[in-house]
Structure formats: C-alpha cells, structure tokens
Amino acid sequence: MNSIRRLLLRPGIASKSSVTQFLPSREPTASIVGPLFRSASFGGVKMAENKMSSVDELSYESVQHDAKKKEFFIAISHGDRVERAFIQYDINGKSIDLYHTLVPPVFRGKGVAKLLTKKALDHAIENDLHLIPSCSYVAKYIQDNPLPEYTSRM
C-alpha cells in the first residue's frame, strides 16, 4: 500500500493501470484503486475526482489556482490517465509575470491555453497587478484580445 501512496504522490501523471501493478493480487483492485485514484495528488495539489474534466467538458470554472506553486492549471482526464495543462507565473511586488504555458499535445488547439490565460489575466485584474506577458502565448492572446483591462496593466 505504501508503494501505491508513493506513486500517487509523485508529481506528474498517475493512471489506474500504473497503480494496479503495485497492488497485491489477492486484494480486489476496484475497491482500492477507485478511492485512491479519486484523491490522487498532482504536484502537491490534491485533486478531487469531480475536478477532473474531459476536454469536451472544460470551462472557465475548470481552471484551478495553486498559489503555492504559482500556477493556474487544469487536470484533464484522457482515458485512464489524467493530463495537466498549466500556466506558470512569478509575482514581484505588484507585478505578475506570466512566463510559461504548457498544454499536453493531445489537447492543443482545443482552447485549453485560452482558458488558462483568461483565468490568469482575471486574477491579475482582481488583485490590481501589473501584467508582464513573458510567455509568447499570453502576449499573443492579449494582442488578439486588446481589452482595456488587459492593455492598461502593461
């Protein structure tokens, strides 16, 4: 059981199939894997099953904020795996530098980065932060959506 916990607490991706390889064969896997998988931890952020979305179900509300890791992220279910898309930032005084966006290849072109960027920009507005769009995607998003609430903060 400790092997399972270590696997699930590793940063990265956990899948039901990768968890079952550590289970003793005499124990029923569904009763063990189900509860453990539903409360899997991704990079120190505990995820609940209802927070994982398929790419078709993604919405603005799907984006979560981990202030400790300085990122906005979405956990997306893909078969028996959970993929993570995120935008990372740094804060220096009253400035937020949105410097890196990553979307797994299988979900690119489906609006995932757009949702992450909008949530991060809204966070900057809500917290009266100056924007530094170091990430090329964020800079392009602001260029394509030159709303005064974004451009006035640069």
The tens digit of pLDDT for each residue in 19-45 reads 444 444 443 333 333 333 333 444 444
Task: Give the model's pLDDT for residue 55.
Answer: 65
Residue 72 has pLDDT above 50, yes or no: yes
Amino acid at 119: K
Of the listed ranges 52-66, 98-112, 135-149, the least confidently predicted one is 52-66
Closest CA to 123 of 72, 76, 85: 72
- Which residues are within 8 A (CB) of 50 and not within 5 positions of it... i.e. 6 or more apart? none
Alpha-carbon distances, residue 18 vs 3, 8, 62, 91 (angstroms): 11, 9, 25, 36
The tens digit of pLDDT for each residue in 117-154 reads 999 999 999 999 999 999 999 999 999 999 999 999 99
Two tokens at 52? 């994982």
Residue 5 has pLDDT above 80, yes or no: no
**From edge to edge, which strands make up the β-sheet containing 64-66?**
64-66, 71-78, 81-92, 95-102, 130-132
Is the pTM of the predicted complex or chain greater than 0.85? no
15 burial level (CB within 10 Å; 0-12, 13-18, 19+): middle
Task: Give the model's pLDDT for residue 37.
Answer: 37
Question: What mean pLDDT, rounded, does the chain reach?
Answer: 76
HSE-CB at 98 with a 13 A cutoff on CA atoms is 31
- What would the mean pLDDT of 82-105 be, rounded to a whole number? 96
